[in-house]
Structures are given as structure tokens and as C-alpha cells.
Amino acid sequence: MTTDLLMLAYSAILCVILAFPYTLALIGRVGPFRAVSYPQPNHDNLPDWVQRSKRAHLNMVENLPVFAAIILVAHVMGASNPMTALGAQIFFWARIVMAVGHIGGIVGLRSVCWFVSLAGLVVILLQIF
């Protein structure tokens, strides 16, 4: 498995892991039976960090398909090389730091990490085109 594909797999795992804090907090708040009935009410009463964890998860859900598409195109085209591996690693580690910063409420870190992860995508795209 190439480093690119490994980073894609790790990113998918990160996306799944980011769903746990909110899900577990919701189960703790409303109970397992109500939680699995997919409740839609406002859950502002959950701790701020739990709400931020949900937003971090949703942000990863939005960005993972773009990363996956770029990685898979590079792989299929045979463009995978040390630079695509570097771009994939930049993306993945930036997303880890972004998730920690997002959940921790560290002002400004989220935006910086988004740009760093975008730079990782650009590195990969430059190898494709």
C-alpha cells in the first residue's frame, strides 16, 4: 500500500473517531434508546467541547471526499510519488492538529490547519497536472 493510500485510510479512521465524543455525550444525555431514534432537537445543553467535536467531525466529513478523490486519481494515474506521499501526510497531520484545536477551542489554530491541509492537497494536485 502506498503512503498516499495509507494516509487516506488513516483519514477515514480519524473521521469515524471524531464522531464518538458527540455520539457518546448524546447517549449519556438522552439515553441509548432515544439517541438511536435519531433525535433532532437542539442540544445546546451539551458541553461546548462536545459541540465543537461534532463540528470537527462534520468538517472532516466535508473534506474527506475531496482528499479521497485527489488521492485516488493520483493513484489510478500512476502519479503517486514521494511528493504525493508528502502532500497526503501534510493533509493528514494538519487534520489531526485541526481536530485537536477545534475540540480544544484554540482560537486561530483551526484556520491555520485548514490552510496547511489545503497546501497538502495542492502538493498532490501539482503531481497530477
Summarised one tens digit per residue, pLDDT across range 42-89 is: 666 889 999 999 999 999 999 999 999 999 999 999 999 999 999 999
Cell for 115? 490552510
Residue 70 CA, distance from chain mean position? 15
Could you read off the pLDDT of 98-121 as tens digits, one per residue?
999 999 999 999 999 999 999 999
CATH number at residue 44: 1.20.120.550
Cα-Cα-Cα-Cα dihedral sign, residues 37, 41, 47, 50: positive
Q: Which domain holds residue 41?
A: 3-128
Domain count, the chain: 1
